[in-house]
Structure 1
């Protein structure tokens, strides 16, 4: 998204948080309704254009939305749609993208309200690692030849032990996996959870799992470096041989033995 659209989305999320705060327990239902609207808009380009057509008076666009969605979504979600229709989005698909983000934020708001945001963040991370390492499962859940309902049902069965919020997000990532890769969608959810909790997210891969003391030490180092609270999530990757690779946002700190060996081999090639 361009800067203008990002700013509009940020304002919408802030306002929507206020609405959800007064409607505790409705977050998952609201998210499902928002996602359904996003799907409808993406499947109907003419409707998506009509809703955003700035040459048409906002009152007419509001009437169009109310005619279509009254009785199909809650009054709060309908009011949200009207608000979003009044935004001058930079790109046609920005409205649908914003709805995706608002659906995710609705779910995370519910998790935060019941004190489970950290749990959801960790579960999403573990699900992403599982899918990265289990290629057949990842391909099955992303198979566009399978009906989205069938893939969603499979995701529910696989991740049945996770919290309701995590399952809802994983199912959504599965349903939309033809639009972006499954693991990248889950990564966005993890980042969104970390941002909502107001901390940075550090993904640490290592040849041997870190001890609790090592994780705490690394956390303190990263917090001192970034000047912000950091959560450290660690997963096992024997291919690294030794050391660790750390991802914090777009930053990558590679101190693995495998990378050092690769660098040495490259240097030998240059000298030969």
Structure 2
């Protein structure tokens, strides 16, 4: 991510935090705008063009997205008034804003946890992942498939996010899309996400203790999502973003074998 995009994303998120009237309807429109930008390179390129004035880019938004709510258009204008390193970064930013807007509109729900669980469902079913990730097929049908799978088992925000991101994967795997959305939701709520892999389920007390230890290490509240993998043998493997803490028996045995072989 370029420095221009980093600053632009910070400013765009600040605009969302300051906005009023942002509900799931606005979030849905932001997702639709992100898809339109991804589908039309001429449009996303024009809105990311540093050579055009912010006022000119804002007018394009007003003209192209006139049917959308005023709150949605205002947020889009805030986004395009920034300098982005690339048109792709602009599209990613609108999608991120949509995820944040959905999470903020449903603040009482465990949205990141629900996205994690659905990601596990997708990862465990190759046919489902292929159906959702394929370039073939109607995008809106993929969204409706996700809605039917989640039904009443997930919050409105998690359902909106999951059903929206699968419609325009843009060369990304579905599980990666869901994991990114999960991280965005957690970050918007001041948390980090820890993926904990162990051979056996952790008790509530163990999970709470691990969350407190990680919170102290990272100086941030941490959401712990657990994955069971019998190959771990014992101990746990913790991943937070790019950081990996591997205290599994399998890893220690593998290290020992490598030292003996070396």
* TM-score over 0.5 (shorter chain): yes
Alignment match, 2:137: 146
The count of residues paired between Structure 1 and Structure 2 equals 261
Task: Tell me, yes or no, if structure 1 residue 259 matches structure 2 residue 251.
Answer: yes
Q: How does 1:70-81 map to 2 (within 5 A)?
A: 70=66, 72-81=67-76
Give the C-alpha shift of residue 178 in structure 1.
4.0
Q: Which residue of 2 aligns with 1:109?
A: 104
Match of 1:133 in 2: 124
Runs of 5+ in structure 2 lacking a partner?
none
Q: Is contact 2:150-2:159 (8 Å) kept? A: yes
- For structure 1, list consecutive stretches of 5 or more residues without a partner in the other structure: none
1:173 corresponds to which of 165, 180, 203: 165
Hey, what does 2:239 align to over in structure 1?
A: 247
Rg comparison, structure with higher value: 1
Judged with a 3 Å threshold, the aligned counterparts in structure 2 of structure 1 residues 261 and 146 are, in CA distance, closer, same or farther, namely: farther
Higher relative contact order (CA 8 A, sep 6+): 2
Q: Deviations over 1:178-197 (max 9, x none)?
A: 43111111111221222222
TM-score (norm 1): 0.88
Q: What SS does structure 1 have at the residue aligned with 2:103? A: helix
- Pick closer, same or farther for the CA change 1:213–1:49 going to 2, 3 Å: closer
Partner secondary structure for residue 201 of structure 2:
coil
CA distance in 1, matches of 2:54, 2:207: 53
Q: Kindly report the root-mean-square deviation, in angstroms, between the aligned alpha carbons of the 2 structures.
A: 1.9
**What corresponds to 1:200 in structure 2?**
192
1:69 aligns with 2:65: yes
Asked whether 1:35 is paired with 2:31, we answer yes
Does the CA-based 8 Å contact 2:55-2:81 persist in structure 1? Answer: no
Q: Quick one: distance in 2 between partners of 1:178 and 1:65? A: 22
* 8 Å CA contact 2:238, 2:246 repeated in 1: yes
1:78-128 deviations in Å (ceiling 9; x for gaps): 22222322222121222211111111111011122xx22xx1121111112
